[in-house]
Structure 1
Amino acid sequence: MNSSQWSLLATIFGALLSGGLLLLASGVRGVPVQPDRPVSRFGLWRQQMRSSMPDAWAERYRWLVALAAVAAVIAWAITLRPIQGLVAGAAVLGLPWIWNPAGNAQRQIVRLEALAEWLQQLAGMHQSSATLVAAIDASSTRAPEAIRPQVRTLAARLRMGVDPAHAYRQFADQLADGAVDNVVLLFLTHTQSHGKGLSRALQGMSDLTAAEASALRVIDAERNKVRSSTRWVSLISLALAVYIVTNPSWGAVYRTATGQLVLIVLAGVFAGALWWLRRMAVTPPAPRLLDPLPSAGARGTAELKLKERV
């Protein structure tokens, strides 16, 4: 590989690194959420990535991205090869999933328990002659902590005059869980029919959700052995890979052009193996029953096509 090819490879890696830093800066700055605006595809992807990490890691994911960028630059500077830097950054970025192969299992259980408790609150408030919208607004300050931000956002949207059906769908998209979709379907049915018996339906759904959370706790306990094995296999494999690449006698081959290609292929195979092990250890979330709302751009395109047809 000649100098111009090395320069091209370094330019590509630099662009990827710059893009990561820009994403980090936008995440640190934060973007205000508009109550009537659906969550974008990138926003949903980011929520899914954060929800797959434990809370302690998810709260510090921005700093993890920054640390991954620093590790990539340091590895690139020491080895003078961009692929080593890219692999180092990816290894640091993937550390939460390596150390916590359980993913969001505990978060799912806690969320289900919180959802069951919130449904009980709504059932009690609605039984006291409060409408569903009023009950949601009153519960926004006392909802369980695991779902309190989403409940507050839902209550704020309803107070600002957003159509209740649309606000409920946005609430479902925020949590992206089949159990929440069940609740939202109940809300949507009540919005259309305003029939009696909502309190009993809320209480019954609360009982079913609590039973589902209890069953998930039993399944989660049985998978702990698989998760522990996955964690240590991943860490030992990663340590061996770092030793081989940094060893002067064994790692020299990875400094060549062919070695750079081999290294990125091996890194991809390693990442695929970790992903496969993680799938064995993770409790999959309940499948969604509602399709996500279209993003603002997709919605505008659909409306424009409808106007053209008319």
Structure 2
Amino acid sequence: MTDVVGFGRLWVVQAVAAAGGIGGGLWATRLWGMAVLAGGLGMLLPPFIAAPARRRRQTAEALAWQAWTRQIAELARSGAGLGDALAASTEHAPPQIAATVSRAARTARLVGLRAATDELAAVGQVWEPEAAAGLRIAASSGGPLAGPLSDLAGRIGDIVALHRARTEAVVQLWTQTIALLALAGGVVTLMYRNNPAYFEPYRTPTGQAVLLLIAFVLLGATAFLVRHSVVRAEPSVLVAPKRASRAPDPL
């Protein structure tokens, strides 16, 4: 629910920034190409600027699930049953997932483990289905719980490692993109401030058309960089894809 609200707010910010960019660019330069470029950047940059906070939340959640699966495996290794281990893990569960773990433990106590794992799998699409599947395997193994739960902890750890490696690569691209955008913006601003006559040819109808074409090319390149500079949490392979023709990529 929080992600949906945040997404809605982001669209409002993008719309306001785009309108402000178009108005400000047209007022400052009287060039439609510059107005379109400023408005397009206003539309593209808010999610790009918000990306670091989103990456931190995703990484914190990933590490929380990694810590919790290791914790429940250790509880099982100490002799606790799966229901008892699940209940005991609520006391020290990481804050990012404490509410989810508490609900699952309460459902396991009142209705049963199967209902608890089904509820857990339905909570999210990235980590929760993996954790729920591991708990189901442990519950149905018929042997010691420590082995299946340790396997679950190892699998979650592998997925987290892939997530962090991907995040590091995206952070590098984000840094490069912000540097290129800052350099390009600074150069254009200095050119317009120090030599406004440079833009005089673009005030003709043909010049306006050429400048619009340049603006669309620059916005297309920027959109490509922005899209690949944002970490997107891919659904678990255990979740059915929304489009049957395209299976989700694992993290």
Q: Give the CA RMSD over aligned residues.
A: 5.1
Is the aligned partner of 1:169 residue 2:121? Answer: yes
- Quickly say closer, same or farther: Cα 1:292–1:220, change in 2 above 3 A: closer
Counterpart residue identity of residue 288, structure 1: S
1:203 counterpart residue number: 150
User: By how many angstroms is 1:122 displaced?
Assistant: 1.8
Identity of aligned residues (%): 19
User: By how many angstroms is 1:270 displaced?
Assistant: 3.7
Choose 1 or 2 for highest CA Rg.
2
User: By how many angstroms is 1:102 displaced?
Assistant: 6.7
1:143 counterpart residue number: 93
Q: Which residues of 2 match residues 1-310 of structure 1 at below 5 A? A: 46=4, 62=9, 65-75=11-21, 79=26, 91-92=41-42, 94-99=44-49, 106-126=56-76, 127-132=78-83, 135-152=85-102, 154-155=104-105, 163-171=115-123, 174=124, 176-177=125-126, 180-190=128-138, 193=140, 195-210=142-157, 213=160, 217=164, 225-238=172-185, 250=199, 263=212, 269-278=217-226, 288-292=236-240
User: By how many angstroms is 1:230 displaced?
Assistant: 2.0
User: By how many angstroms is 1:220 displaced?
Assistant: 5.4
SS of equivalent residue, structure 1 residue 196: coil
Counterpart residue identity of residue 151, structure 1: V
TM-score, normalization by structure 1: 0.50
**Does the Cα contact within 8 Å between 2:202 and 2:208 map onto a contact in 1?**
yes
User: By how many angstroms is 1:201 displaced?
Assistant: 1.8
| Structure 1 gaps, min length 5 | 1-32, 34-42, 51-60, 295-310
CA distance in structure 2 between the partners assigned to 1:65 and 1:88 by the alignment = 17
**Does the Cα contact within 8 Å between 2:41 and 2:219 map onto a contact in 1?**
no
Q: Can you list the C-alpha shifts for 1:127-158, whole angstroms capped at 9, x where unaligned?
A: 543434x5444434532133334434545666
CA distance in structure 2 between the partners assigned to 1:197 and 1:286 by the alignment = 32
Counterpart residue identity of residue 237, structure 2: L
CA distance in structure 2 between the partners assigned to 1:255 and 1:195 by the alignment = 80
**Does the Cα contact within 8 Å between 1:100 and 1:231 map onto a contact in 2?**
no
CA distance in structure 1 between the partners assigned to 2:204 and 2:14 by the alignment = 21
User: By how many angstroms is 1:274 displaced?
Assistant: 3.0
**Does the Cα contact within 8 Å between 1:122 and 1:139 map onto a contact in 2?**
yes
Counterpart residue identity of residue 129, structure 1: A
TM-score, normalization by structure 2: 0.59
Q: Can you list the C-alpha shifts for 1:43-65, whole angstroms capped at 9, x where unaligned?
A: 98x49x86xxxxxxxxxx83x55
SS of equivalent residue, structure 2 residue 149: helix
CA distance in structure 1 between the partners assigned to 2:36 and 2:95 by the alignment = 38
**Does the Cα contact within 8 Å between 1:111 and 1:146 map onto a contact in 2?**
yes
Number of residue-to-residue matches in the alignment: 233
| Structure 2 gaps, min length 5 | 243-251
CA distance in structure 2 between the partners assigned to 1:229 and 1:185 by the alignment = 39
CA distance in structure 1 between the partners assigned to 2:43 and 2:109 by the alignment = 39
